[in-house]
Amino acid sequence: MTRTKRLALLLCIVMLTSIMSSLTVMAEEKPDTWIADRVVQIQAYVDDIGYALPEDQLNTPVMQELARRTGMKIEFLYTEGEKDRYVMATQLATGNLPDMIVSYLNNSTRPEFPILLKAARDGMFADLAPFIIESKVYSKYMDKEYLPADTYDNIVWRKDFDGQVHFLHMNIDAVDTSTIWNPAEEYIGGMYIQRAIAEDLGIDVKTINTSEQLFKLLQDIKAKEYKDVSGNPVTPLGPKFWGGSADALQYVINDLFWGVSGDYNITEDGKVLHEAETDWVYKKVDWLRKALAEGLMHKEFFTIDETRAGELYANKSIAIIADVHSYKEIIYGSDDWIPLGPIANYKGDTRKITSGKGGRGQWAIPASTENPEEVFKLMDYLSSEEGQLLCLYGVEGVSYDMVDGKPKLKPEVQEAMDRGDSKTLCDKYGASFDGSGVYGLEFILTDRQNEAYFGEARPGASSGSTFERSVKLAEEYTREYHLVPGLPAKAFLTDLEDVNNAMNLLNYNETLVQAAFAESDAKVKEIIESFREQLKHAGIEKFEKLVEEKYAENPNLINFY
């Protein structure tokens, strides 16, 4: 062997050794959680996600840590529109979709669902069933007992999908605690009254349990001629805190809601009816017309925009907020407002009705996404204990420290949360912090069990002062839960496509408001009768028959009571 050959051989050996050793180092550097070197773009049809994004999404401490563990990063995309579901319908129609989509989806009766279902039936989404079987967290979705009935039957494991899965419901609690009153987790929603007015009138707010009692209270408030901070008269009943909507009526005149299952209910002789087909609709309209005529209700109760509603409450121009909850600053920020009621249901029961576990959103992978299994693995990892800790608390040493095996937020993070500094939480730390920071990172989780994993209901709950009053209110105004299993009758509308399309164009709440503002009782009758006609024309009888059959087969399927 010549000298040159020997030198070349030596060089080759050196090179081979260095390549092998660097490969070994690389292999060693990759943790078990490694998935792929990839940025996953998620199109969010959720306004709260779009409004809480870091300026540099890919370089927050959380994203850097996620990349170190899995090789992957997440980038949320958000397109503003009049309504998120309009944007979703448009983007699905154009086929312009990134690696994954997320949208609101509390249950299968939400307006997003028919659009998602059509897209799934058209083959727009990848089949996730094979990935579920192999996953760590999402494999729980194969257990019928784990998922809410609606999630299992109508969203994830739909019979018409022939064993395929096209979207996954998120934010499912690991353990069903829906009937347990836990002050640390409860949102006290519904009516709130100005404490000063309640005290002046000497009323016990918990004893106002019927719409009749409420009406009398509104009259008493009116008679006292209270003034707001600018010296203008106080209106007894104001709109929903987030702006005018008929939704708030469920708290105000709950005892006049007969259609408890998505506007439907069943009569004693087993006939399924829409509430508009019964006299209950007139009872509701009468109450509203009287309240409006006597000036007890704000005239823009159903239509006011959020900004102006906020002004009304900031000025104390309203005695009773029709709907707000204990985690809004106006409630937890001071002692000025206290819960009122609750108004009992039409059976006189004040217990809070629950159908058991629920969900909040859904995610799907477009069929055009390359290597969908990587995206799935990432979603599965994020919902593991390790992934949830990263998403909710951020990076250890940066935004929290481990104390006795549980995460404890750093004081500066807690302070940022207390002062509502979302920008700092997003840009500097990049985690969700119970929705105060990057909301998207909380929205995409499932198998939630904060108490079990982290020892507290939400990040900072055990040490922060921000929501102290929210928890106190939940301790003071406790309620009992009443479990009524089943889905709202409306969930079965998708079984009859033609009826569903026609019914989607009808709006019962709008009819109620129209009747409430009608110029005469004769006009009220005309409006209601016209709506009944429209229901018939849309094929309601066919639908009601279907629901009757389903209910007779299995009464636990539909939440009539």
The binder of other proteins chosen from 46, 74, 92, 253 (CB under 8 A): 92
473 touches 423 (CB < 8 A): no
Closest separation between CB of residue 249 and other proteins, Å? Answer: 13
Q: Which is nearer to other proteins, 295 or 555 (CB)?
A: 295
Closest separation between CB of residue 527 and other proteins, Å? Answer: 8
Q: Which is nearer to other proteins, 205 or 249 (CB)?
A: 249
Residue tagged 């959680």 (tokens): 33
- x/- string (CB under 8 A) for other proteins, residues 198-237? ----------------------------------x-----
Asked whether position 122 contacts other proteins by CB under 8 A, the answer is yes
Token code pair at residue 424:
């700092």
Asked whether position 529 contacts other proteins by CB under 8 A, the answer is no
Token code pair at residue 473:
């209110």
Closest separation between CB of residue 92 and other proteins, Å? Answer: 5
Asked whether position 52 contacts other proteins by CB under 8 A, the answer is no
Closest separation between CB of residue 29 and other proteins, Å? Answer: 41
> Considering only 78-86, 141-149, 252-260, 488-496, which stretch makes contact with other proteins by CB under 8 A?
78-86
One-letter identity of residue 62? V
> Considering only 137-145, 375-383, 421-429, 502-510, which stretch makes contact with other proteins by CB under 8 A?
502-510
State how far the Cα of 160 lies from the Cα of 154, in Å rounded to an integer.
10
Closest separation between CB of residue 515 and other proteins, Å? Answer: 9
Start-to-end Cα distance in the chain: 95
Q: Which is nearer to other proteins, 77 or 309 (CB)?
A: 309
In Å, the largest CA–CA distance within the chain is 113
Residue 429 is classified by DSSP as: I
Cα angle for residues 18, 21, 23 (degrees, 5° grid):
110
State how far the Cα of 127 lies from the Cα of 129, in Å rounded to an integer.
6
Asked whether position 295 contacts other proteins by CB under 8 A, the answer is yes
State how far the Cα of 240 lies from the Cα of 485, in Å rounded to an integer.
28
> Considering only 20-28, 37-45, 177-185, 299-307, which stretch makes contact with other proteins by CB under 8 A?
299-307
Closest separation between CB of residue 369 and other proteins, Å? Answer: 14
The binder of other proteins chosen from 118, 289, 410, 482 (CB under 8 A): 118
Asked whether position 299 contacts other proteins by CB under 8 A, the answer is yes
69 touches 44 (CB < 8 A): no
Q: Count residues binding other proteins (CB under 8 A).
A: 40
Give the list of residues 6+ apart from residue 37 with CB closer than 8 angstroms, or none: 71, 72
The binder of other proteins chosen from 198, 538, 540, 558 (CB under 8 A): 538
The alpha-carbon radius of gyration of the chain (Å, integer) is: 27
Asked whether position 441 contacts other proteins by CB under 8 A, the answer is no
**Cβ atoms within 10 Å, residue 256:** 23
Asked whether position 517 contacts other proteins by CB under 8 A, the answer is yes
State how far the Cα of 166 lies from the Cα of 307, in Å rounded to an integer.
38
SS in 3 state form for 60-88? CHHHHHHHHHHCEEEEEEECCCCCHHHHH
The binder of other proteins chosen from 8, 15, 20, 83 (CB under 8 A): 83
Closest separation between CB of residue 47 and other proteins, Å? Answer: 16
For residue 103, the cross-strand partners are 45, 362
State how far the Cα of 433 lies from the Cα of 420, in Å rounded to an integer.
11
Burial state string for 79-112 with b = 16 or more CB within 10 A and e = fewer than 16? eeeeebbebbbebbeeeebbbbbbbbbbbbbbeb
Closest separation between CB of residue 235 and other proteins, Å? Answer: 8
Asked whether position 537 contacts other proteins by CB under 8 A, the answer is yes
Asked whether position 308 contacts other proteins by CB under 8 A, the answer is yes
343 touches 253 (CB < 8 A): yes
Asked whether position 502 contacts other proteins by CB under 8 A, the answer is yes
Q: Which is nearer to other proteins, 56 or 122 (CB)?
A: 122
Q: Which helix (H) or strand (E) holds 259?
A: none
Asked whether position 124 contacts other proteins by CB under 8 A, the answer is yes
State how far the Cα of 533 lies from the Cα of 405, in Å rounded to an integer.
63
Considering only residues 339 to 368 of the shown chain, the ones binding other proteins according to CB under 8 A are 367
Asked whether position 532 contacts other proteins by CB under 8 A, the answer is no
Residue tagged 């909507």 (tokens): 245
Query: Phi/psi at 8 (nearest 5 deg)?
Result: -65, -45
Number of H helices, E strands in the chain: 24, 15
Asked whether position 119 contacts other proteins by CB under 8 A, the answer is yes
Closest separation between CB of residue 492 and other proteins, Å? Answer: 18
Q: Which is nearer to other proteins, 26 or 522 (CB)?
A: 522
The binder of other proteins chosen from 511, 544, 550, 560 (CB under 8 A): 511
Q: Which is nearer to other proteins, 228 or 373 (CB)?
A: 228
72: left (phi over 0), alpha (psi -120 to 50) or beta: beta
The binder of other proteins chosen from 90, 267, 465, 478 (CB under 8 A): 90
Asked whether position 106 contacts other proteins by CB under 8 A, the answer is no
DSSP string, 384-398: SHHHHHHHHH-SBTT
Asked whether position 175 contacts other proteins by CB under 8 A, the answer is no
Q: Which is nearer to other proteins, 363 or 467 (CB)?
A: 363
Closest CA to 434 of 456, 401, 412, 403: 456
Q: Which is nearer to other proteins, 127 or 447 (CB)?
A: 127
Query: Phi/psi at 339 (nearest 5 deg)?
Result: -60, 150
The binder of other proteins chosen from 20, 86, 212, 334 (CB under 8 A): 86
Binding site for other proteins (CB under 8 A): 83, 85-86, 89-90, 92-93, 95, 111, 114-115, 118-119, 122-124, 232, 295, 299-300, 302-303, 305, 308, 367, 501-502, 504-505, 509-514, 517, 533-534, 537-538
